[in-house]
Chain A
């Protein structure tokens, strides 16, 4: 589903964020991406959602080489990749419902269908009763669950998360991880960047470890 082949990412100031990254993630697979901060986790995720372009090599998602996607087509590609951010990036000037509805509105869905889909997504993350509240009225863990609802409301085949539990205590973090596992069980390909080894090791999923822009372990399946 996600395939990196000899990917390099250099910045114009000479900084080499990634060198020679090769790995693949099967359809319906779930994996963690670990490594110290600065190891290149975020850069790798940005390449998958076309926030950055590769300097060399190819990244393909669903068999499509991302280098071939022109700038104008990026929005349509992003609708198939759900993303959860560490700081969840919710909009505080609107309700929980409107936050989750945003991707559906963007894709031009009819208002009545939006209602159904948003409530289904909020139900999945256990926040159905809070749809009318503002994100500011929620706890950190709840805000992150809204972020997850927004990422999956479009039913994307791929779900990415960048340190989704970075600001949460262990108990809340475990709950969040359970949510990701549930989405993976219904066939979503999930890739989560996290440095919280204590949290991810007991889960027995594949772990890809990055160090200084290279894969240290976990490039191969199993």
Chain B
């Protein structure tokens, strides 16, 4: 009975070298899939571009987000209060006051800014120096910039401190700078959420577009699928070339997306630097790190595989010889 259909359980796994042949077969399928894709280079690159562009937006947003978080970190997070001192207060008294404020526990640093120095700074930084020349006297008061301990994060504690500082006889008014930081943090959270939403929707688009591409490929190779099933091809065997196709298209799309993102960052960097300089700090966008590049490639590859798997499940099992 050795050759009878009863021995039909002779799966490849029972073969001694089965695993080697299995790998051999994978290699062969991967190669022939690549050849097929390159034979339709135009369609292939078109698909990769469509999917690549869909990948660009979420990845680019998350790059911006990472940069935004960087700003938050560099900002050292400590809120700051600017005290404007009363007009006519001698510089010496103001310096002494700065020293006194520094003794407070919740204060990290306190920096005295002389009004003459402030005016000079003002002149070098801004362009309406001519207008200032018309003024008889220095319109700026002395100021003390008080930086609080980073541990003090609650707005009410900061406000309490501000209120106590503003009652000092030398102080005219106090400006709280915490709002900036908080606003930035809110923006970051907002962008973060937007990134997730956009990433989810565009990933869905990728799955649909790729799924449709794979479906067309299945349609085109219907006859082959039937023959393979007729001569004993298992479902995994029939699926394999299409799964490889999905993986390769996903990978190609990630590479397209990578190039586009690097290009966009390059284009955006100059205006962003100019903008950040106008806010008096130096900042430039950093591109994709090695890790995020790796993530992008794996993400594209997995999306490709997933789309192919869904398409194959949906359409391949329907094709049965009749």
Mark A residues whose CB is within 8 Å of B.
1, 46, 49, 51, 61-64, 69, 72-73, 75-81, 83, 89, 91, 93, 102-103, 105-111, 150, 154-155, 157-158
Contact = CB atoms under 8 A, between A and B. Distances in A.
B224 interface: yes
Interface of B: 1, 3-12, 15, 17-18, 20-22, 24-25, 28, 223-224, 226-235, 237, 320-322
Contacts of B3: 80, 155, 157
A109 B21 contact: yes
A106 B226 contact: no
Nearest to A79: B232
Nearest to B11: A76
B42 to A, nearest CB: 19
Nearest to B20: A110
B321 A51 contact: yes
Contacts of A46: 322
A111 B25 CA distance: 9
A105 B232 CA distance: 10
20 contacts: A61-B5, A63-B1, A72-B235, A75-B233, A75-B235, A76-B9, A76-B232, A77-B5, A78-B232, A79-B232, A80-B3, A83-B231, A105-B25, A106-B231, A106-B232, A108-B22, A110-B17, A110-B20, A110-B21, A158-B5
A89 B225 CA distance: 11
A98 to B, nearest CB: 10
A63 B227 CA distance: 26
B5 A62 contact: yes
B237 A106 contact: yes
Given A75-B235, A91-B223, 16 more contacts: A61-B5, A62-B6, A63-B1, A73-B9, A75-B229, A77-B8, A77-B232, A78-B230, A80-B3, A83-B231, A89-B230, A91-B224, A102-B227, A102-B228, A103-B231, A154-B232
